[in-house]
Amino acid sequence: MKKIALITSGGDAPGMNACIRAVVKSCLGKGIVPIGYSDGYTGMIENRFTNLVSDDVVNIIQRGGTILGTARNDEFKTKAGRAHAIKNLKSERIDGFICIGGDGSFRGASALSNEMNIPVIAIPGTIDNDIFGTERTIGFDTAMNTVVDAVDKIKDTAGSHHRIFLVEVMGRDAGFIALETAIASGAASVLIPEERSNIELLAKDLKSQNKRRSNSIVIVAEGDDAGGVKDIYEKLLPLLEGYTLRYSILGHVQRGGRPSAFDRILATRMGVYAVDLLLEGKSEVMIGSIGDSLHTLPISKTINNTAVPRLENLKVIKALKTVK
């Protein structure tokens, strides 16, 4: 194996740079040329790449985002689009491919592997943590800490002004961020896509917890069935007369920032492991983590199954509800 191609694809996540660094340094240490394609599959189709060297990854382990850039590409979903990418990869004599991204990126990697017969390793990088087969994805821990830090600040204002705050976090299809940050921030309640929301019951709970003063936080995943945080705010207003409600949308601030120590370590270990797997002749597998251990599973298994947060943690939040 002489050349290994590398992309970051889909939404950016803190820790992607740490993973890029690990892949590059591991390749160079084994006499392999690491090729970084710009902007995910878009760069692969347009043949925009760099032969990465040590200087390219100096002082990037602490940086958020991705130095390779990332994008979502509809053209790559077509066989004609992938044909352009395959032609470019063959012209550069690429022997292996590492994809850092999420579910959609893995589908593209699997299709590329089948059509080009090239070994592919997938590394889960997404703040949503919604990849089947791994407890943690690169970027999730950092995103959680970003949310908790923001909610702690909002709680100061909520307490000072005796307000109920609804805080919307990312999670269009999955409630991992919302559920775990709700516990970590001491939120009064949480609304996630995996459980049908009852706005009337939420209003009743907030009243019971705030008989004298209102200073609660409700974490809302953006993909909740009751709507976005603004919709839920409008629905709660007539049910909470006499209370002061506010809402805040954290948005893309959750994607950025310096990766946590956890994400740097996870990303580095996965990057080194990915190169080793290619050299061992492995292909079409994703690297996952369980506790402190890394493992592999077929990409087909991860893209054909749905990751679900630990819904039993909802009981933890309910158990901590107290009447003031």
The closest alpha carbon to 66, from 7, 142, 129, 144, belongs to 7
* Cα 269 from Cα 217, distance rounded (Å): 36
* Cα 110 from Cα 112, distance rounded (Å): 5
Please name the residues in contact with 234: beta carbons below 8 A apart, sequence gap of 6 or more.
Answer: none
Q: Which residues pair with 324 in a beta bridge?
A: none
Among 12, 39, 128, 263, the active-site one is: 128
DSSP 197-220: --HHHHHHHHHHH-SS----EEEE
DSSP state of 259: P
* Cα 223 from Cα 175, distance rounded (Å): 8
* Matching residue, tokens 């061992």: 280
User: CA torsion sign, 165 to 166 to 171 to 176?
Assistant: positive
* Cα 82 from Cα 116, distance rounded (Å): 9
* Cα 8 from Cα 35, distance rounded (Å): 12
The yes-or-no answer on residue 128 being catalytic is yes
* Cα 306 from Cα 51, distance rounded (Å): 36
Inter-CA distances, 227 with 9, 23, 139, 173, 233, Å? 28, 40, 25, 12, 10
Contact 291, 135 (CB under 8 A): yes
Catalytic residues: 128
